[in-house]
Structure formats: C-alpha cells, structure tokens
Homo-oligomer: A and B are copies of this chain.
Amino acid sequence: MPIGDAPDFLRKLDELVYVRKRVKSGATLYHTGSKFHALYAVKSGFIKTENLHDDGRVQVTGFYMPGDVFGFDGIATDEHICTSIALEDTEICVIPLDKVERFNHGIDEIQHHFYKLMSREIVRDHTVMMLIGSMNSEERLAAFILALSQRFLLRGYSPYYLTLRMKREEIGSYLGMKVETVSRIFTKFQDLALLEVQQKNIHILDMHGLKKMLGQHPSN
C-alpha cells in the first residue's frame, strides 16, 4: 500500500495542483479506456481501483486514502487500465503529469518524488502478489489489517481503531478470496480475541498476536 510522508508531500503538491475535484461516493473518476490526463492525489475520502477482466470478473487492485497518489496505470498506454471509484465522498487533487515532468527547473526533487511514488506502488503490488500467491486466507487478512493499521499510524491516527471504508466483498476481491471466507475469518479472529469487529469498525486487541498469524503457515 502506498504510504509515507503525506503532510510534506501535500505541501509541495500545491505548486503543481491547480484543480481540485469532488467525487461523490460510488462515482467513477476514470474508467478502463479513459484517456490519461493526470495523476490524482486523495485529499480526503477513500478511493478503490479495480481491473475489469474481459468476462465479467473484477479484481480490486488498490485502496487509496488521504495522501496517496493513484492513476499511474494510465501512463503506459495513455489510457487508463483500471477504473477508479470513490468509496465515500472524496476530494481529489489533479496533477497533470506533463507538469510534473517539466517541473525540474532547478529542483528535481519533485521528479524524484514521483519516481518514488511509482516505485512504492510497484513494491506494494509485489507484496499483494506475495500475499495472494503464497499465503492462506487467514494470513492474507491478517496482513491486510496490519498494513491498514500501519497506514493509519503513518497518517497520525490510532493504529488500533480502524474504520473500513470498503465492504467485505471488496476486501475479498483485493485479497483473492470470497466474501464468505472474509467473514468467517473476521469471526475467527474475534474468537481468538485478536480483534473486535463491529461492522466496518475494527478494534485491534492483540497486535502482536495478529502479527504472529503471519508466517505460521507450513506451505510453499
């Protein structure tokens, strides 16, 4: 998951951003095939991106929260591959890429920052490939919750109280498992006194225990 020096970044961003946008909950910002115009930074709210396979299948490829930048998938072919959808009312900063590319008159710090952002996205994707490819469902969900907790922490929120903005099905899609399985594992984690789950509110009771859920698995 994309992370990091959000406040810093948002400050610098002002120099690049002239347009802000509001996206209503459930609305689409761009979709597969849209011409690529710009990158987007989440100012407030929550965004998911998903890939549509030729047949009806959908795979959630990312969740983005304030400070995160997304839309990098559009650069390759100048057309977006993913669809991005707001999971709640969301404010977006529009960052035209050519403006970024032309920015380094003197300072190329910003340039480098964008390379870093893309690199992070790549690293995050590799992590997810690893999750889905070589962990069982419990480990995946544990890893997901821990990563989310970490992101909350980096943004200055409590890492123990998470409010999920996505529904179970979207978590499942992201992690390569079915809704029912997600639900069962939440219940199990609750039974193990690792979590307290109240709808979309997660209270992490035993962070250490949750971490131990990872790497328990005999496989691979």
Contact = CB atoms under 8 A, between A and B. Distances in A.
A147 interface: no
Range of interface residues on A (Cβ < 8 Å)? 35 or more
A208 interface: no
Contact of A118 (B82, B111, B119): B119
How many chain copies does the complex carry? Answer: 2
Interface stretch (A18-26, A67-75, A86-94): A67-75
A141 to B, nearest CB: 14
A59 interface: yes
A72 B116 CA distance: 9
Given A116-B76, A119-B72, A125-B126, A215 B55 contact: yes
Contacts of A135: 57
A15 interface: no
A185 interface: no
Interface string A97-118: 1000110100010011011101
The 7 closest A-B pairs by CB, nearest first: A133-B176, A75-B119, A125-B125, A76-B119, A55-B215, A59-B130, A76-B120
